[in-house]
A = this chain, B = another copy of it.
Amino acid sequence: MSRVVKLAVIPGDGIGPEVIAEAEKVLAAVTAESDVTFDKTRFSLGAARYLETGDTLTDDDLAAIASHDAILLGAVGGVPGDPRLKDANIERGLLLKLRFTLDHYVNLRPSRLYPGFSGPLSTPGEIDFVVVREGTEGPYVGNGGAIRVGTTHEVANETSVNTAYGVERVARFAFAQAQKRRKKLTLVHKTNVLVHAGGLWQRIVNEVATEYPEVAVDYLHVDAVTIFLVTNPSRFDVIVTDNLFGDILTDLAGAVTGGIGLAASGNINPDGAFPSMFEPVHGSAPDIAGKQLADPTAAIGSIALLLDHLGLEAEAARVIRAIEADVAARGDAKRSTSEIGDAISSRVLA
């Protein structure tokens, strides 16, 4: 009995199309002899599309994308400072709109220092943790505003919105991850300053913790976490945190594990009410686009997260093993984007 997965592919801008091509190569390789078929629809979205048509993400786009089982996204965003993009906010209008509309309340970002790979830390130790970042609340909600804009009396506010409903569902997901892993969960916030939001996060995590007696829970302020991520990253197993802190910490986590060229992520709706979306953590890097300079490993790692999300654990594991083997064999020789994709594909097929 064969299974068909409808996959929306959004290559996007800059290096997006290049890394997505390699991710698709690996996806094809890993499913070559399986009974799963990926039925792909390509969506041309991003800064390039905006410049051509003035559209960022129409209701029709959204409806079409939402009718798929999952989404694979490369990266979106134009050249920084491009005057023609002055009034476009591709991040808010496209990426965040997808995450919010498709209720991607879990932003799952694993961080691993691959065996044999040396990152920027002189004594990194073992690094293997996952950040469960809330994806639909916090300072990302867009509930800000300004008065007297452009004057010396301007006041610009941003409001972080946090609900028991929103925090509980992401906390529950994080505890379930911890239960499957090393059974340790760290709540990260800034409870001593953001007392209302922080208090809510702390209360809910304490409550959900009673359902997971085997999971050890601790709490750290976000500033302290940045210290531990460079001095003792091994201390982390699962981190659960809000949208903004998660954004900041996962870039740092990417850096200490060898660069965001390796960092994969999933924007997940665990309820299955909407398709989940898988994307590398990195951006569109227009400065190196079209030159086959980008590392597609993060995009390929996102394929593993996609497969895992679809319940195809064996296939996901094969992709991860192929990435591990490739990374371990990396020397100083520069390879092109497609050479890396080819190498990982052949390891998947081997």
Which of the listed residues A118, A164, A203, A260 has the most CB atoms from chain B within 10 Å of its own CB? A164
Q: Can you identify 30 A-B contacts, CB atoms within 8 angstroms?
A: A89-B192, A89-B195, A91-B192, A96-B193, A120-B230, A122-B122, A139-B160, A140-B193, A146-B196, A149-B199, A151-B164, A152-B164, A152-B165, A154-B163, A154-B200, A155-B163, A156-B163, A156-B197, A156-B200, A157-B159, A157-B160, A157-B196, A157-B197, A158-B162, A158-B194, A160-B160, A226-B252, A230-B252, A230-B255, A252-B252
Which of the listed residues A157, A203, A250 has the most CB atoms from chain B within 10 Å of its own CB? A157
Told that A92-B193, A120-B231 touch, could you supply 13 new A-B pairs with CB distance under 8 A?
Answer: A96-B193, A139-B158, A139-B160, A149-B199, A150-B203, A152-B164, A152-B165, A152-B168, A155-B163, A156-B197, A227-B251, A230-B252, A231-B255
**A213 CB within 8 Å of chain B:** no
A306 to chain B, nearest CB (A): 23
Q: Which 7 interchain pairs have the tightest Cβ spacing?
A: A226-B252, A223-B251, A144-B196, A156-B200, A154-B164, A122-B122, A156-B196
**Interface pair A92/B192, CB less than 8 Å apart:** yes
Residue on B nearest A281 in the bound complex, by CB: B223
Which of B120, B122, B146, B249 is the one whose CB lies under 8 Å from A200? Answer: B146
**A222 CB within 8 Å of chain B:** yes
Chain B residues whose CB sits within 8 angstroms of the CB of A121 once the complex forms:
120-122, 230
**Interface pair A194/B230, CB less than 8 Å apart:** no
**A248 CB within 8 Å of chain B:** yes
Chain B residues whose CB sits within 8 angstroms of the CB of A120 once the complex forms:
121-123, 230-231
A316 to chain B, nearest CB (A): 27
Considering only residues 282-297 of chain A, those with a C-beta below 8 Å from chain B are: none
**Interface pair A247/B230, CB less than 8 Å apart:** no
